[in-house]
Structure formats: C-alpha cells, structure tokens
Amino acid sequence: MSDAVAFEDEALPLASVIVVGWRRAPYLLDCLRALRRSVRRVPYEVVVVLNEPAPELTAAVQARVRGATVLSSAANLGFAGAVNLGAARARGDYVVLLNDDTEVEPDWLETLVETAERRRAGAVGSTMLFPDGTIQEAGSILWDDGSTMTVGRGLPAGSRRYDFERRVDFASGGSLLVRRATWERLGGMSGDYFPAYYEDTDLCLRIAADGESIWYQPRSRVMHHESQSTNQTYRDFLFERNKQQLRASFGDLLEERVHAAPWDPAAVEEAVWRAMGAPERVLLVDDQVPVPAKGSGMPRMAEVLAALQESGRYQVSVWTSLIDGSRDNDLLCTLGVEVVDEPLEEHLARPGRHYAAVIFSRPHNYEIRAPLVRAAQPGAALVYDAEALFFRRIEREAQLRSGTAEAEALETAAAEMRRCELDIAADADHVVAISEEEAAVLREAARCPVEVHGPLLGAIAPSPSGFAPRRDVAFVAGWAAGPNSPNADGLAWFAREVMPKLRARVPDARLLVTGVGPPPSLRSLAGPGIVFVGAVADLAAFYDAVRVVAVPMRFGAGVKNKTIEALQYAVPTVATTVGAEGLPTDDPDAVVVADDATNFAAALASLLEDRATWDLVRGRLLAQVARWQESRTPTIWPAVVERAVARARARTLSTAGA
C-alpha cells in the first residue's frame, strides 16, 4: 500500500521506541511515518502498544505497519501500564517513549542518544513544538506543591531563550529517552497514576533520586498535536488527584523546590536555575556568537566558554552587540551555553537573573556596555579580555598609510583608542592579556590584576597527512571587521602583489580563503587563483588538506590566532612580521617570515613544490607542537573568574561599609 510504513529488522537495536495508541489514536500512522522518515543513523526498533484500541485502529495497523512489534490490550492499561508492556519487549540499550500524536524531526533520536552517552544521563527529553513551530515545552518545572509547569511555552519559533542543553526537573514522557538499565532497575513507570498524567514526573524524580541526571536537549525536536483525549473536567480531576499522589511519594523532596508561582518570572527563572544545579552565572559580551569557523579570535573565545562551562561552577550566557541572524550555535548549545536574544538592558533587568561576572571582549563593548552592567548588576565582576591592543593595530595602519590624507586621522584614532584601553584597565576588576608584552602596557594603568593567558588552543592536534595528498595555500580569515580590517588589507595586498609572482612560479597555485561574508570589494578578487570557500565546518579536515598557510597581515596587534592555529595543526606557514608577532615559539625558523611580496611568493612556491623543504618545516612544527603539549598548563579562566568575583564582592562590601 502506498501509505504503508515499513521498519527495518534490526538484529541489535540501540534504541527501542515505544509508541502507545489509545482507542482511535488518529495520529498514530502519521507518527510512525515521521519516525521511519527521520531516523537514519541509529539502529532502532519500534514497539507499538494498542491500548484499548478501536477496531478500525487495529485494522489500520495490521494493514499498513510492517517491521514493528505490535502488542494489544483490550482493557485500558493506562499510559504507564501500556508503556511498561512495550518496554518488557524492548531489546535496545535505551527505552524511548514517544507520544502517538507527535511527528519527530530529522536527528530526533540520534541527538537523544548522543546526549545520553556524552552526559551519561539517566534520561533525556526533547523540545516539544506546536504545529505552528512555537515552543510547547523546553523542559519542565516541578514546584513545591507538586504542581508542574512547562518551560518556554508560547515562545516563537526559533527563540534562543532556552536553546541550550541543561539539566531539568523532568521532561515530558511525550518524547523521553531512558537508559534501559535504569528503567529496569527502577521497575519502569509507576502504576499509581492510572490512567494518565504525572507518570513521567514520578519516573524522572526516581531517576534523580537514584543518582542520575535528567537533561533537556533542544536539538531533538518533536511536533506535538497535544490532542485532547479526555474532557477538561476529567483532566483537571486527574491532575489534582495525581499531584496529591506525587506529594505523598516525594513530600520531603518537594520541600526543596521553589514556591509555586508560575505567573512570576523571577520564580520561573529561579526554578530553571536550581534544576541546573544553581551554578554561578557568567555573561560574555562580544560582537558575535563565538563560532570557531568565523575566525577573528572566535576559536579562542569558544575555548574560554567551554573551560568555564565544563568547570561545573559556572553557567555561561552570551550576548552579542551585532545582529547575528545565523542559527549556527550548535557548539554552544552542546556546551550548555545560553545565547541571549533580547536587548542587554532588558536582559540585565530580568527578574531573578543575577550575574557573578561579566566578560567583555573588544574595547567598544566595554566602553559602551560596562556602565549598563554597573547600574543593573552592581555586584557583578567586570572582566576585560584584551585579546589584542587595538591602538597598536591603528598605529600600524597609520604607519602603513604614511603620507596619505588618512594617516593623520588614524594617528588621532590610535591615541583615542590608547586612552580607551588604558581606561578599561583602570576600571575593570580583572584583565586578561594574550602576551606578556601587551600585559605590561595595560599594567601601566590597571588598578586590578592583569594576567596572561597564552594563545594556544587546547583542542588542536597536528594534522596527519604528509606532503603528497595536500594542495593549495590557505588564508583562514574572519570578516566581521569589514572592508578596512587587517584581513581585508592583507588579502588585497596578496592578490595585487603576491599572487601574480606566485603563479609565475606555480601556474596552478590557488589561495583558499575562508570565512563568512567577505566584503563585496574583495569578492571581485575571486578567480582561478583565489577561491572563497566560506565557512568551514571542519577546520581540522581543512588544515589536513592544504599544503601551506599564508598570513599576509600588514598591520594588526597581538598574537594572531590564525597563525597559532596553523602552527598547532603543523601546517607550514608563511607570514609577514606582523602576522608572526608574539608567537610563543622557541624555534625562529618554525614560521617563514617575509614582508616583501617577491620573497613571500618565493617562500610559498618553495613549500608548494619542494617536498624536502616542506618536510623540513613540517618537522620543525611537529617538534614545536610537542614542546607546547609538554609545557601546556590548564586554562586559567575558571580561576580568573573566581578571583574577579572575590575582588568584586570585596569592592561591594567596602562600598556598603563606607
């Protein structure tokens, strides 16, 4: 039949999906079709339980469903009884409950399984959506009186408000993965709540009491029709009766919950926060969501956030000053980092939202927004991440433009930026620099500690390929700073001065340029020799495929993240003096430095064509990376925030006592 649904016969299913259809179950076949269509990368089985089915439902399932285990009970077993019947036949490592009036989206099951394994969770729940895409549930709250509340209900489609992994009080049984070992150890769902409602709450509380965590995974998405299978009066009766049953079973635990006030945003905020373990909150204020593929220091900032989040002490949120329409924040979602999508003043004033520390990246963000934080959250520590001294960048551009009309304006701007950056150092509670040289400049004005956190990225290992399979020259860039940025100038200089000389030596040489949204003025440079490849999802694979990296920067400041990144991947690199500035290398020949276009092109040509030269430089890099790995110390960021928070609290107490 054309509308039949056939599941594959899996000898060793990893997951057992249990779908209960009660009486007519009008959405059941659509649910099974979506399940078959959407799950591709996890071996699974389907167990359908027909609970007190209407004859037409039994006939439809018999005629149209193949490859599923179908069980039937003429008597109403209730939701728990029906699920337990299906789970008794489960063979997978995971028992997955799925309402019959849902339609799962692609990767629904894959994401649940991956989260359970990575988080070592006892249970993981999904995002439940209304048919129009608005949020129905993003995890759930349990109040002190035993009542419950779905989080995020009614938020618009695409909202980032709860778009991050986090621990929750419980998640709906409409889409809930549970470890089968946990399920069997606890005896499955309780029959005390017959016929329906609160079974999932009870199960999650027992899982938590047994020492395992409950997680919400926003990337696992389910559209839920939320059908009304019982009349409202009967539903209200069941909810109230079963709430009392839950209170009888978990009275002591409920005393620890937030007082029931679902109408109060502060109470909701506190309940969500407590379910996460009540960590101290840290806010990052930056230009963009730190997605590593964007470059421009984003890989380093992503590591900072990961270090803070994974310390277990902090819950990190990110607010961006530039409009970022992309939804590319999967990494932050997986880390459990919240991306804020409301105005900063509104966010800082949100009832129940208190930050222990706010980290500012880039001077304009601190200058404009630190006063807002001081006013709205006076107890928060202000930490400035000085990933570069911007005034030096402007000074060098002025030197480059010497003799032109714009040089004087740049010199004035450099002086203003110097004053701004030193004022920040004087105002902040803590400053982190990327090199000792730049830290020394900031210490001239600072009234707080200025620490150095070197530029090495912890998640990078040398790319494995040798000379032969590699091709091309790479320029790894970010374009957020626009057409007048060091990256834009460097690429324009390379195209104008270096590329003709390089192609004279190596006619088929190509420069692969990464990064989202290069300025239109640079797009005109595209051609056989210059290829814009856009965002690179897998940087490790990209570096493993290129033979040489070019860093043609003519002005800038601080250690260049792109240069460090290339060296850590052990890809031979040609850089200008500015591009090689401040590298923490003890081998002066690890990077080939050339400021003249002719020498730059010659160095690239040699590395592209001469295997012996390439192998020599590659060997130096591998040795340098090995020394870095031996000497690498853990990130200082959790300790930085801890010290900054202590300093801010001392400041607050001193002010209060004055």
Segments in 102-186 forming alpha helices (H)? 108-119, 180-186
Of 422, 428, 432, the C-alpha closest to 454 is 432
Q: What is the mean pLDDT of residues 292-300?
A: 69
Q: Which residues contact 166 (CB under 8 A, 6 or more apart)?
A: 139, 215, 216, 272, 275, 276, 336
Mapped onto helix, strand or coil, the DSSP state of residue 406 is helix
DSSP conformational letter for 212: -
Contacts with 548 (C-beta within 8 Å, 6 or more apart), sequence order: 472, 473, 474, 571, 572, 573, 574, 604, 607, 608, 614
Please compute, for residue 405, the number of CA atoms within 13 A of its CA located in the half-sphere on the CB side: 0
Tally of residues, the chain = 658
Q: Does residue 225 contact residue 27 with C-beta atoms inside 8 Å?
A: yes
Class of domain 10-274: alpha beta
Is omega for the bond preceding 638 within 30 degrees of 0, making it cis? no
Contact in structure between 570 and 493 (CB atoms under 8 Å): no
Report the candidate in 152, 34, 168, 172 with the shortest Cα–Cα distance to residue 104. 34
Cα distance between residue 295 and residue 298, in whole Å: 5
pLDDT of residue 300: 82
Token pair, residue 289, equals 């969501």
| Position 162 pLDDT exceeds 90 | yes
Phi, psi of 249 (to 5 degrees): -85, -30
Contact 162, 218 (CB under 8 A): yes
Phi, psi (deg, nearest 5) at residue 98: -140, 120
Any residues with CB less than 8 A from the CB of 349 and at least 6 apart, and which? 376
Please give the single-letter amino acid code of residue 451.
E
Percentages (nearest 5) of helix, strand, coil residues in the chain: 40, 20, 40
Least confident range from 233-247, 537-551, 625-639: namely 625-639
**Cβ neighbour number for residue 552 with a 10 Å cutoff:** 27
d(CA 629, CA 543): 19
SS3 453: coil
Question: What pLDDT, on the 0 to 100 scale, is given for residue 227?
Answer: 61
CATH architecture of the domain 279-452 equals 3-Layer(aba) Sandwich (3.40)
Indicate if the pLDDT at residue 186 is higher than 70: yes
User: Whole-angstrom Cα distance, residue 543 to residue 613?
Assistant: 18
Classify burial at 155, counting beta carbons within 10 Å of its beta carbon; exposed 0-12, middle 13-18, buried 19 or more: middle
Nearest to 305 by CA among 266, 332, 328: 332
Q: Is it true that 10-274 and 471-631 share their CATH fold?
A: no
Three-state helix/strand/coil letters over 66-114: ECCEEEEECCCCHHHHHHHHHHCCCCCCEEEEEECCEEECCCHHHHHHH
Among residues 207, 134, 210, the alpha carbon closest in space to that of 176 is found at: 207
Maximum Cα interatomic distance, the chain, rounded to a whole number of Å: 91
What CA–CA distance (Å, rounded) separates 439 from 390?
13
What pLDDT sits at residue 560?
84
Residue ranges of the alpha helices (H) in 210-343?
232-254, 265-275, 298-310, 330-335
Are the C-beta atoms of 206 and 186 separated by less than 8 Å? yes
Predicted pLDDT of residue 405: 84
DSSP 509: -
pLDDT of residue 33 exceeding 90: yes
CA atoms within 13 A on the CB side of 174: 27
* Mean pLDDT for the chain overall: 92
What are the tens digits of pLDDT across the range 475-493? 998 887 788 889 999 999 9
Helices 486-493, 390-400: inter-axial angle, 10-degree rounding: 30
Is the separation of the CB atoms in 8 and 17 below 8 Å? no
- Of the options 3.40.50.2000, 3.30.70.1150, 3.30.300.30, 3.10.580.10, the CATH number for the domain spanning 471-631: 3.40.50.2000
C-alpha 366/C-alpha 634 separation (Å) is: 27
Q: Are 587 and 608 in contact (CB under 8 A)?
A: no
Residue 2 has pLDDT above 70, yes or no: no
Give the whole-number percent of the chain exceeding pLDDT 90.
77
Predicted pLDDT at 656: 60
Listing from the earlier edge strand, what are the strands of the sheet with 471-475? 530-534, 511-514, 471-475, 546-551, 573-575, 592-593
Site of tokens 């964007």: 294
The mean per-residue pLDDT over the stretch 466-482 comes to: 91
Other Cβ atoms less than 10 A from the Cβ of 91: the count is 15
- Condensed to tens digits (0 to 9), the pLDDT of residues 306-335 reads 999 999 999 999 999 876 545 567 888 999
Does the structure show a pLDDT above 80 at 1?
Answer: no
pLDDT band at 293 (very low <50, low <70, confident <90, very high): low
In terms of Cα–Cα distance, which of 137, 159, 167, 158 is closest to 149?
Answer: 137
Rounded Cα distance, 490 and 516, in Å: 17
What is the C-alpha to C-alpha distance for residues 290 and 301, in angstroms, rounded to an integer? Answer: 6
pLDDT at position 323? 60
Query: Which amino acid is it at 164?
Result: F
Q: What is the pLDDT of residues 195-251, one digit of tens each?
A: 999 999 999 999 999 999 999 999 999 999 976 556 789 989 999 999 999 999 998
Three-class secondary structure assignment of 316-334: EEEEECCCCCCCCCHHHHH
pTM of the model: 0.88
Are the C-beta atoms of 455 and 563 separated by less than 8 Å? no
Radius of gyration of the chain (CA): 29
The predicted pLDDT at position 55 comes to 95
Position 658 scores a pLDDT of 53
**Do the beta carbons of residue 215 and residue 115 sit within 8 Å?**
yes
**Phi, psi for residue 275 in degrees, rounded to 5:** -60, -30
The half-sphere exposure of 643 on its side-chain side, counting CA atoms within 13 A, is: 15
pLDDT tens-digit readout, 356-413: 999 999 999 999 999 999 999 999 999 999 988 999 989 999 998 888 888 999 999 9
For the stretch 114-137, pLDDT in tens is 999 999 999 999 999 999 999 999
Count the neighbouring beta carbons within 10 Å of the beta carbon of residue 514. 22
Q: How confident is the model at residue 455 (pLDDT cuts 50, 70, 90)?
A: confident
In the chain, domain spans: 10-274, 279-452, 471-631
